[in-house]
Amino acid sequence: MAAQQVELAYEDHPSFTCHCSAVIALQDELVSKAFSGRDGRGYLVYSTSNLRMGKKEDRRLMTGVHTVADVYCIGCNARMGWYYVKAAELSQKYKEGKYLLEREKLIKENGWKLNI
């Protein structure tokens, strides 16, 4: 019931959904489309919904070592990307507290604006 209420609240807003139709993030939460994930291009977003967090681990990424936790859809348990817990380098601190969502795992819904 709670997951259904979350989806209804996002009904009229441009959003990212999982292939199982769970709403993952609103377009308004998009920070950047210029990121790379494990499986290709990715989006950096401020916040998400309907995700559960996996175990934290240090991972060497293209921009250095980061402490991250993979995130999974609560609807179908698909790995959607990761959450940036901590960045080792000062220049990467802006990523802390944000999510990297894998573009291949997402569907754009509800009238996206093309100028973003």
Q: Is 115 helix (H, G, I), strand (E, B) or coil?
A: coil
- Which has the higher per-residue pLDDT, 11 or 89? 89
Predicted structure pTM score: 0.83
Checking if the pLDDT of 2 tops 60, the result is: no
- Alpha carbon 58 to its chain's center: 18
Task: Name the strand (E) or helix (H) holding 54.
Answer: strand 51-61
Task: For strands 106-109 and 15-18, give the pairing.
Answer: antiparallel
pLDDT (tens digit, 9 = 90+) per residue, 22-75? Answer: 999 999 999 999 898 888 899 999 999 999 999 999 999 888 899 999 999 999
Percentage of residues of the chain with pLDDT beyond 90: 71
The CA–CA distances, whole Å, from 7 to 33, 60, 67 equal 23, 34, 30
Which residue segments constitute the domains of the chain, with CATH numbers given? 2-106 (2.170.150.20)
Average pLDDT, the chain: 87
